[in-house]
């Protein structure tokens, strides 16, 4: 006996990589996805949040011409659904009665059959949607071919109210379009949130996430489904596009997915590496650069960046340049050459002595009688930065910056020198993590990477003490605590916002913590001028952490006093007490 049409539903998950602002290109992706899904027998194709615009569109979405272009694209796609094939559930900005919404449109039978608006607009961390959108009203389900679909949008499932409203108004199945960016262990967070909503309301859920890089953010995909009993219905791959049609059938009072794919994504260090590669690839490709150039120093940071660049773009699009000075060791020269050879990139050596000496000669009258110091060291870095930018200009290659999060935190970097460049894939990785990812890449290559198999970073680069080689016998630990000490302090200061007293209580030296806290604050002006880079931690420098440059506050390093309730009118709430 054949089941009624409303007892079975084939839903295609379009885990795709849109480009912000490319309305025509994103619409064409949707058309191609519809054709693919039709071939898989889909009834409905579900796209990620704001797919037509690309996510996040930031202030671009406030531009009337952009709003109009998005609407025209959606209306055109709607008319095209008059041709037999699956319906589309697609995210778009939408203006209604002078208000701008983050919307999802159901396109079916040649018309826009339904619109739903995002209710809960996130305004924390990397998100600032309240800046541009108006929250929508509490939604009811969409009636699609006899099935009542609840369509909460991304943040709408992070609280209880929207899903509760959908359940109370008769939703049978939740379809959730998302633009959820990656950070370490984010997949577990998403899954736990979805499980909580399913547990509360008993509604099977399809979670459809975007994939791809957009400036600092990387979206990892890993779309998934949950049954009403919270068992996993399906899970797609991480860090790559996919279109998969899942088969759902009504079983009694609920819906079940038949034989959904179980793929999943890379986690922990593998996830971080894959995110850095994807973020770099999309930044270069979406901005139209034919390739990149890297200053390869023989150190661990530039070696990892070179490996990531080759994995992202292929060796033929990566050019590496060694820029030695009199403090550059033969060991560094040998290591850089070996790394370039292992990666198969074009590699050149351009000595910088003449340029550095020329600058010093120009400055000699002003500097007469003054001792040599960091000024002369920075001249070397700035000469290198200038040369890399000249190569960039001449060959239209983007300079890839190589500074890690440890250096960015404490200002151990030279403005207009080693900070020059267009993008930095390791900007959100601490030095100890850089070492770890180098070892990882030598033992593993992510799926889809364009670099060679096997070890690509010489062991000596990983094992030798880090050095900037800007003076004789220089080591990083001459200026900084060992990275094994520095990085845990920074993680507590930056990601956790812990007070100095708590970090000291955890066993770290008070003077060291106080010094690092001071360096963190005074380096803010440098970070404001740094290249964008991939976010992989809970709190990156840029969209996540926006401290004032002019800032005289310093943590006194003493235990925080108990709040003086007598200064507050009435009994303080938990949040009020925390703010006193």
Answer for the pair 524, 411: CB distance below 8 angstroms, yes or no: no
Whole-angstrom Cα Rg for the chain: 27
Active-site residue 49, yes or no? yes
Give the tokens for residue 580: 């006193």
Give the per-residue pLDDT at 473.
67
Distance CA 175, CA 11 (A): 10
Give the tokens for residue 244: 């998969």
Marked catalytic residue, from 70, 154, 257, 320:
154
Dump pLDDT digits (tens) for 472-509.
766 766 778 999 999 999 999 999 999 999 999 999 99
Dump pLDDT digits (tens) for 59-96.
999 999 999 999 999 999 999 999 999 999 999 999 99
Give the residue from 38, 29, 49, 58 showing the smallest Cα distance to 131.
58
Give the per-residue pLDDT at 316.
97
Looking at the DSSP bridge assignments, the partners of residue 533 are 424
Marked catalytic residue, from 29, 49, 129, 445:
49
CA dihedral 476, 481, 484, 485 (to 10 degrees): -160
Answer for the pair 100, 62: CB distance below 8 angstroms, yes or no: yes
Give the per-residue pLDDT at 575.
32
Answer for the pair 285, 25: CB distance below 8 angstroms, yes or no: no
Chain position carrying tokens 């990785």? 429
pLDDT tens-digit profile, the chain (580 residues) = 343 457 999 999 999 999 999 999 999 999 999 999 999 999 999 999 999 999 999 999 999 999 999 999 999 999 999 999 999 999 999 999 999 999 999 999 999 999 999 999 988 888 889 899 999 999 999 999 999 999 999 999 999 999 999 999 999 999 999 999 999 989 899 999 999 999 999 999 999 999 999 999 999 999 999 999 999 999 999 999 999 999 999 988 899 999 899 987 778 899 999 999 999 999 999 999 999 999 999 999 999 999 999 999 999 999 999 999 988 889 999 999 999 999 999 999 999 999 999 999 999 999 999 999 889 889 999 999 999 999 999 999 999 999 999 999 998 889 999 899 999 999 999 999 999 999 999 999 998 999 999 999 999 999 998 777 676 766 766 778 999 999 999 999 999 999 999 999 999 999 999 999 999 999 999 999 999 999 999 889 888 888 888 888 888 775 655 554 444 444 333 332 333 2
Give the per-residue pLDDT at 476.
66
In order of start, what are the domains of the chain with their CATH numbers?
A: 5-260 (3.60.110.10), 270-476 (3.40.50.620)
Residues 6+ positions from 507 with CB-CB distance below 8 Å? none
Give the per-residue pLDDT at 571.
35
Distance CA 286, CA 117 (A): 29
Distance CA 504, CA 196 (A): 37
Distance CA 404, CA 224 (A): 33
Marked catalytic residue, from 29, 70, 118, 405:
118
Q: Which helix (H) or strand (E) holds 520?
A: helix 510-522
């Amino acid at each position: 006996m054949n089941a009624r049409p409303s007892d079975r539903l084939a839903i295609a998950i379009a885990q795709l990589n849109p480009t912000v602002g490319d309305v025509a290109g994103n619409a064409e992706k949707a058309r191609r996805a519809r054709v693919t899904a039709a071939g898989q027998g889909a009834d409905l194709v579900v796209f990620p949040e704001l797919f037509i615009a690309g996510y996040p569109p930031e202030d671009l979405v406030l531009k009337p011409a952009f709003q109009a272009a998005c609407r025209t694209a959606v209306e055109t796609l709607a008319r095209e659904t008059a041709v037999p094939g699956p319906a589309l559930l697609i995210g778009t900005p939408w203006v209604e009665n002078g208000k701008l919404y983050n919307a999802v449109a159901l396109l079916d039978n040649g018309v826009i059959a339904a619109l739903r608006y995002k209710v809960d607009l996130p305004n924390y961390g990397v998100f600032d949607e309240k800046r541009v959108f108006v929250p929508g009203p509490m939604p009811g389900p969409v009636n699609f071919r006899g099935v009542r679909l609840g369509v909460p949008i991304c943040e709408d499932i992070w609280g209880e109210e929207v899903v509760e409203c959908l359940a109370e108004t008769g939703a049978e199945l939740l379809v959730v379009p998302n633009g959820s960016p990656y950070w370490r262990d984010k997949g577990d967070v998403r899954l736990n949130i979805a499980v909580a909503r399913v547990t509360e309301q008993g509604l099977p859920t399809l979670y459809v996430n975007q994939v791809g890089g957009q400036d600092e953010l990387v979206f990892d995909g890993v779309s998934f489904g949950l049954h009403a009993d919270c068992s996993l219905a399906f899970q797609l791959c991480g860090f790559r596009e996919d279109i998969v049609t899942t088969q759902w059938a009504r079983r009694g009072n609920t819906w079940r997915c038949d034989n959904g794919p179980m793929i999943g994504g890379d986690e922990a260090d593998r996830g971080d590496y894959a995110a850095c590669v994807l973020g770099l690839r999309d930044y270069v490709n979406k901005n139209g650069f034919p390739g990149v150039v890297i200053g390869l120093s023989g150190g661990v940071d530039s070696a990892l960046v070179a490996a990531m660049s080759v994995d992202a773009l292929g060796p033929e699009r990566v050019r590496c340049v060694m820029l030695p000075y009199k403090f550059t060791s033969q060991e560094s020269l040998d290591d850089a050459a070996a790394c370039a050879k292992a990666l198969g990139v074009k590699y050149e050596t351009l000595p910088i002595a003449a340029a550095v000496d020329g600058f010093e000669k120009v400055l000699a009258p002003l500097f007469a009688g003054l001792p040599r110091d960091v000024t002369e060291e920075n001249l070397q870095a700035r000469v290198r930065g200038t040369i890399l930018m000249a190569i960039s200009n001449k060959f239209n290659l983007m300079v890839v910056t190589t500074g890690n999060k440890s250096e960015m935190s404490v200002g151990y970097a030279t403005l207009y020198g080693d900070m020059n460049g267009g993008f930095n894939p390791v900007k959100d990785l601490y030095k100890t993590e850089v070492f770890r990812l180098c070892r990882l890449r030598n033992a593993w290559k992510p799926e889809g990477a364009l670099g060679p198999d096997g070890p690509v970073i010489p062991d000596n680069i990983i094992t030798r003490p880090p050095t900037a080689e800007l003076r004789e016998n220089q080591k990083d630990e001459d200026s900084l605590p060992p990275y094994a000490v520095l990085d845990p302090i920074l993680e507590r200061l930056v990601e956790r916002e812990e007070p100095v007293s708590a970090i000291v209580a955890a066993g770290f030296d008070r003077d060291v913590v106080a010094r690092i806290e001071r360096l963190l604050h005074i380096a803010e002006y440098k970070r404001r001028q740094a290249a964008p880079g991939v976010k992989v931690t809970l709190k990156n420098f840029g969209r996540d952490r926006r401290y004032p440059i002019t800032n005289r506050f310093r943590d006194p390093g003493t235990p925080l006093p108990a709040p003086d309730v007598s200064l507050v009118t009435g009994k303080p709430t938990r949040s009020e007490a925390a703010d006193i």
